Structure 1
Amino acid sequence: MGTKGDGYWHRLVKRLTTDVDQLDADDLSTHAEAQGARRACDCRSGEEVTVFGRLRTVELCPRDAAATLEAELFDGTEGVTLVWLGRRRIPGIEPGRTVKAQGRIAVRDGRKVLYNPYYELQQTAP
């Protein structure tokens, strides 16, 4: 029983003393693994991956007269930019929404990107 009690107190002290953003990142990372997704920090260019996380930003980027919708997905380890070419808006793709996305990882300007990913909007945030 001593070990179980020590674990409880250790977790409680950690929750009370750790930065809220770090706790949120830890929860996202744990939830992503439970969903069968890869951690963004482990994804490499050219790999077919499934990632899971929360959208931090969503913006319309009109480059060269072709609309592009871009969203930053954060899974607790690293960000992945989701890019939908030729789209101005996608219902449900908004900051704070939890999303599971699949596609082939590319690297653009040093950042990981999924172009036109298959995605699933999640009902509840972790």
Structure 2
Amino acid sequence: MTADEGRGSLRRMLRRITASEAEIEAQQLQRESARCGAVPVRQCGRGQMVSVTGRLRTVVYTPRLNQPALEADLYDGSDVLTLVWLGRRHIIGIEPGRHLTARGRVAVRDDRKVIYNPYYDLEPSK
């Protein structure tokens, strides 16, 4: 082992020891996303067709006068993207903590990245 390799592994070990739980989770989610070939949410821009992978943080039914919607915040370790299913009150399997891959065109609503009516694949529950 070279001196540079030794310093690199020492740095990684120190980073793991001093990192918060949230930082460790974010790093793990980013690795999983990269392994799946998904686009990191922070790199998604308005109008892009993307495939993103992550964990659902929140799922909320939002009743609206003209059309109800089910909204879920997907976190991939880099940023949050909101998935919105128009006209839906509930979708089996769409629940906080669930891992999924979503595909669709990115829009921006109230300075937040959104995909309306995304195609999605649920990861098996653990």
Structure 2 SS opposite 1:101: strand
Corresponding residue number in structure 1 for 2:41: 40
For each residue in 1:60-99, what CA deviation from the matched residue of structure 2 results, as whole angstroms up to 9, or x when unmatched? 0001152200000001111000000011111110000111
| Percent identity (aligned) | 47
Q: May I ask how many residue pairs the two structures share in their alignment?
A: 125
Distance in 2 between residues matched to 1:124 and 1:83, nearest whole Å: 22
Corresponding residue number in structure 2 for 1:26: 27
Per-residue deviation at 1:10? 2.6
1:46-125 matches, within 5 Å, as 46-123=47-124
TM-score by length of 2: 0.92
Aligned-residue CA RMSD in angstroms?
Answer: 1.5
Deviates more, 1:78-87 or 1:1-10: 1-10
Distance in 1 between residues matched to 2:45 and 2:59, nearest whole Å: 23
Per-residue deviation at 1:6? 3.9
Letter of the 1:67 partner, please give it: P
Per-residue deviation at 1:4? 4.7
Distance in 2 between residues matched to 1:95 and 1:5, nearest whole Å: 40
Distance in 1 between residues matched to 2:66 and 2:108, nearest whole Å: 23
Per-residue deviation at 1:9? 3.1
For each residue in 1:6-51, what CA deviation from the matched residue of structure 2 results, as whole angstroms up to 9, or x when unmatched? 4443322211111110111111111101101000111110010000
